[in-house]
Amino acid sequence: MTHAAPRPLRAEAPRSPLSGRLGVPGDKSISHRALMFGAVAVGTTEITGLLEGEDVLRTAAAMRALGAEVTQTGPGAWRVAGRGVGGLVEPADVLDMGNSGTAARLLLGLISGHPIFAVMTGDASLRRRPMKRVTDPLSASGAQFWTREGGRLPLAVRGAADPLPIDYVLPVASAQVKSACLLAGLCAPGTTQVIEREATRDHTENMLRHFGATVTVQDTPQGRVITLEGQPELTAAPVLVPGDPSSAAFPVVAALLVPGSRVVVENVGLNPLRTGLLATLREMGAVLRVENERLAGGEPVGDIVAEYAGLQGVEVPPGRAPSMIDEYPVLAVAAAAARGTTRMRGLAELRVKESDRLAATAALLAANGVRAEIEGDDLVVYGTGGAIPGGGTVETHMDHRIAMAALVMGLAAQRPVAVDDAAFIETSFPGFAALMNGVAGGAAIGPA
């Protein structure tokens, strides 16, 4: 499998404070789901604001391969003619999911409920990521899996001819595993039930309801019990994809760290199970406001106003991890600029992201003169009080969020920060450098 040549980039302090209004690409989690639900709904689903990064385009290609009509009608505007629940067809070729763990795991759930055979692969990073966490519970539906050692891609799946409903208690907090089980349950008679001890992002539940499924959520002493009534008739419904809060995190943190800055990030998804970073930054003393709050497609949306502020180290509780799991690298950059020590607790899940994101984040800081330690599943960052030395080159390990976090650090550091490869930023945030340069008033991010 070939990839674009490495694209080294470098970020340096801008000549003036960051200023202006900007929009970030559509929410990646919602974009994946909009394409998948559109493909198994009856009728034609119109999607606006779809993230057109490589990860989501892989999902669009996979849904086409599984028999749905998926067409782009304009920038961010897509149309999906669905096949109804149970109507997907066997793909003629291997499904290549690129860098996207979300697409791979959710799609395995969807395929599990269909009597079809499929082979799935991905890029070098995705082929290292564990799939056993979804293939184990999905096997209970009657689907069969053949994987590489450790349950890794490439893998083959044969979906169940007569799928059974799943009843599963999540061993780790994972919206992807929860969603895979619920997607498999669409084709099964009866009730599929997933119990999560810690609440994870609920875009799947929201969108299932948006398309007409019956989903209930109940808080019990055992945890949150999510119940899906099987074999619903999903009906096409328009989806307006809000800006991705995980992408908004980068300009927001940059504005907090570059003296004199004020940035407004418009139309950001504010699902309460995705706003852990905003809560943490406020605890650190950040000046953050939300304006123009509204609902779009069943999801809360608003504009985030971020202004420069001196930050203070805090302790981040482990229970907050599911609501900000993708934002820890850029939070670590904010912690590096803060006064005092920040301890981020309970980060075991970071070890199995696009890279070992826990180790990569600690290495990012160390390469730029910031002291950090990994203690068990905790990351401890010793803040510099604003004077991040910088001057290092960061190994991104094919991880888009490590690359963007390092470039944000470069905007606030005393010396420029370089990354060995920024090509993978396109998977989630097309045009990242150009957008950041727009609010920086010049080319603060450019070729290394």
Catalytic residue list: 326
Give the tokens for residue 55. 């990860």
- Could you tell me where the beta strands, DSSP code E, fall in 29-81? 44-48, 69-74, 77-81
**Is-contact 14 442, C-beta < 8 A?**
yes
Q: Which residue has the tokens 């970020």?
A: 11
Burial of 23 (0-12, 13-18, 19+ CB in 10 A): middle
C-alpha Rg value of the chain to the nearest Å: 21
Give the integer Cα–Cα distance in Å for 369 and 217.
Answer: 46
- Pairing label, strands 95-96, 223-229: unpaired
Residue 226 backbone phi and psi in degrees, to 5: -105, 125
Of 412, 405, 401, which Cα lies nearest the Cα of 440?
Answer: 412
Q: Is 40 helix (H, G, I), strand (E, B) or coil?
A: coil
Burial of 170 (0-12, 13-18, 19+ CB in 10 A): buried
CA dihedral 292, 298, 299, 303 (to 10 degrees): -20
